[in-house]
Amino acid sequence: MKKILCSCLVMIALFSCSNDDSNNSTNETTSSDYIYKGNFVSSSHPTSGIAKISKDKKQLLLEGFKSDDGPDLNIYLAANLSTIKADHIDLGDIKGLNGNYSYTVNNTIYYAKYKYVVVWCVDFDANFGNAVLAP
């Protein structure tokens, strides 16, 4: 009975390892999967990480992202840092403060105009930090 149980556990462990390896190789992305990229810089709060737009222009990825917490934080695409409140595309509530996060975007956005990814505090009209998207 012990021998059968041990054999089953070994088979489960091997199956789990082989599945993990195959998933990692198929889900990896390369820099060629993105057409725009920018590094976050701090503004009113410490903010860091990388913003990327997918090749099909349907995803914004925040990679290695970190920012301070605040009330009502949103992710904006802005045309200009001095007119964020007046001219922006609101991608919604921030999904997290430390990690990798993905946002769905409209693939018709003109990134030559909306080239700033901004962590915006709606309550205080404050730019926590931003990244400039460039090809």
> What pLDDT score was predicted for residue 30?
59
- 30-82 tens-digit pLDDT: 567 899 999 999 999 999 999 999 999 999 999 999 999 999 999 999 999 99
Strands (E), 1-135: 34-42, 47-54, 59-67, 73-78, 88-93, 98-104, 116-121, 126-132
Instruction: Answer for the pair 48, 40: CB distance below 8 angstroms, yes or no.
Output: yes
State whether residue 2 is helix, strand or coil: helix
pLDDT tens, position by position, 86-119: 999 999 999 999 999 999 999 999 999 999 999 9
Task: Give strand ranges (E) for 55-95.
Answer: 59-67, 73-78, 88-93
Q: Which two tokens stand for residue 30?
A: 């390369």
Coil, helix or strand at residue 24: helix
